[in-house]
Amino acid sequence: MEKDFNPGMKVHLNGEFGLVVKSETDNPNFHGVIRWDTEKEIDLEDWTGMFGLFLSLGGEIIDGKHPFNYINDDGTLK
């Protein structure tokens, strides 16, 4: 079982799918910015330090093979 967000982790919350991306504010062992799979050019949400809350709200880590509609596996727009 994961204990925190890791870059490249695919996640699901409230019907939305996303990818944990490295951000400029990350320190080496603390991640949590999620790029949501939407058409928006920038759709980032900072969950850094809130992994437990993310899970308690129904958030899930999903299969790494899950295909995104609008973003690539590195978080860039398709």
The C-alpha atoms of residue 34 and residue 46 are separated, in whole angstroms, by: 6
CA-wise closest residue to 71 among 17, 23, 13:
17
Q: Is 27's pLDDT higher than 90?
A: no
Give the pTM: 0.90
DSSP of 13-68, one letter per residue? Answer: ETTEEEEEE--TT-BTTB--EEEESSSSS--EEE-TT-HHHHHHTT-EE--TTPPP
Query: In whole angstroms, how large is the CA radius of gyration of the chain?
Result: 11
For the segment 38-77, what is each residue's pLDDT rounded down to a tens digit? Answer: 999 989 999 999 999 999 999 999 999 999 999 999 999 9
